[in-house]
Amino acid sequence: MMNISPLQKERLQYNPKLPGMLRNGISEICVKEGKETESVADQAKIKELFPNTYGKREITFEKGQNTSLAKKQVVGVILSGGQAPGGHNVVCGLYDALKATNKENVLYGFKGGPSGLLEDDYLIFDDEYIDQFRNTGGFDIIGSGRTKLETREQFAVAAEVCKKHGITAIVIIGGDDSNTNAAVLAEYFAAHETGVQVIGCPKTIDGDLKNEDIECSFGFDTATKTYSELIGNIERDANSAKKYWHFIKVMGRSASHVALECALQTQPNICLIGEEVAEKKMSLSAIADYITDAVAERGNNGMNFGVAIIPEGIVEFVPEFSVLIAEINELLAGEKAEEFNSLSTWKERYAFIEKGLTRQSMDVFAILPESIQQQLFMERDPHGNVQVSLIESEKLFSALVKAKLAERKKAGTYKGKFSALHHFFGYEGRCAFPSNFDADYCYSLGYNAFMLIQYGYNGYLSQISNLSKPAEEWVAGGMPITKMMNIERRHGEDKPVIRKALVELDGNPFKYFAAHREKWAVETCYTYPGAIQYYGPSDVCDQTTRTLALEKGE
């Protein structure tokens, strides 16, 4: 038994809440089938790529006689991609449902992500081992990894490993890319009549794996509450010291759900939303002006402090910056990279850059702080491209604001003082003890995944809905993963992928934020969520995110 803290000891005893229907007992769960489905876009192409798993019906589990075929199930489970709070409970829920159905059922855990399946590296779960991980954060129960299951050679190896152990189903716990891989693997297994089912579970703290059927991905609730506690603490400190502007970057490269949720919980002075930046085609200078206006008004009113939340991927939403990145990638392609790297001083490299960029992009590049300029040319991915996620956008915008404030001070329109501090909240939220919501939701996802297996479904995503209500009223079921897919251009090829969900600017969460942000910008309206609560009144311990509540009109 591992060393455990008093809190973990208590959490190990927590009994996750299941949807009312799943509490009936395995023998009293039947299936109600809905309409046939189609993909969100590119229907003909997706159907062509997934002839065996496309167009299947959504299903809902209801109370009734279990009509599934009784047989021994040997299931493999994989944790894929970045960690998200509650992943352990998905495995625990899967294990408990499997054992409740038949004590002879077996659960394999493939270690280190999808590579564990390919390398036949596994453990077999038993009660003693799995009981150490109930209601805890992290993915250390079997580890995770980012290996993609996407080639026929990999699928063939996976099929052989499954055959070797008599595995009847694989559960892949991951985000949009991982569940895209799950759909492709499911199609391969069906086409080759392996008899192995594949079920996915929706995970990502970024919140961008959702749609009308998947109300939220697991981990988002805990991560945003963790970040919001920290942001609230910083707000309290800012309001106490009254001399610092805190620029806080939060997770979310492809969408701004995390930033928006944290803003709804903490009411900072500024929160940038990448989707709005793209919609309005805002330039870096325009964004900096927007922040500067709030800083200046507060400063002129004697409030030389504030809090600004910056989404991790904000610069990718800025049209002019995207063009700049594309030109830089082209500038350093092939032999040009060697020429650039041979230059010994930044002055020489700057001249090389100035010669190679268009005037419009050079104008953008010139306003960047030198540290960010150099970062764009020093941090490259394996393909030689700029790693945009590594850009310290919180420092970028505070530097731009500082420069604009200096201009206003010269013009006599700004009388305040500006001192900035910087933070990045990322890993702090990925392995926190799951909130009661995520503990319950994840356990239900895993339990439900086994019901999908027991009833013979393949290429489905475990689905728990009605999540803004108490767990007793949650609805369990499944949807074909292909329903979420479209065709996108990846690495020069058309690929079937799950469409990422962006912040909807006409949705209730953003509308609420937009209606209040002008007041939050110039007044001090901070709210302090405090630490995640696990014990006490349900309206404190089991509350869901503000995003989900607003989406449901609550």
- The pair phi, psi for residue 273, each rounded to 5°, is -120, 115
How far does the chain reach from its first CA to its final CA, in angstroms? 43
CA distance 363 to 323: 12
Alpha-carbon Rg for the chain, nearest whole angstrom, is 25
Phi, psi at 281, each rounded to 5°: 50, 45
* Contact predicate 529/229, CB 8 Å: yes
DSSP assignment of 417-463 equals: ---EEEEEESGGGTSSPPPHHHHHHHHHHHHHHHHHHHTT--SEEEE
What distance in Å separates the CA atoms of residue 154 and residue 251, rounded to the nearest whole number?
A: 31
- Say how far apart CA 137 and CA 128 lie, in whole Å: 18
Tokens describing residue 131: 């009981």
Residue 417 to residue 409: CA distance in whole angstroms: 10
Sheet holding 270-271, edge to edge: 270-271, 306-311, 245-250, 420-425
Q: What is the 3-state secondary structure (H, E, C) of 295-357?
A: HHHHHHCCCCCEEEEEECCHHHHCHHHHHHHHHHHHHCCCHHHHHHHHCCCHHHHHHHHHHHC
User: Which residues is 425 bridged to in the sheet?
Assistant: 250
Percent helix, strand and coil across the chain, each to the nearest 5: 45, 15, 35
Sign of CA dihedral 398, 400, 404, 406: positive
Catalytic residue among 96, 177, 206, 438: 206
Token couple for 246: 């805190």
CA distances from 17 to 139, 431, 450, 470, 477 (A): 21, 21, 17, 9, 16
Alpha-carbon gap, residue 257 to 501, rounded angstroms = 9
| Cα–Cα distance, 318 to 273 (Å, whole number) | 11
CA distance 24 to 473: 13
Told to judge if 438 belongs to the known catalytic residues of this protein, a careful annotator would answer no
Spatial CA neighbour of 323 closest among 289, 281, 352: 281
State the Cα–Cα distance between residues 55 and 216, nearest whole angstrom: 23
Catalytic residues: 206
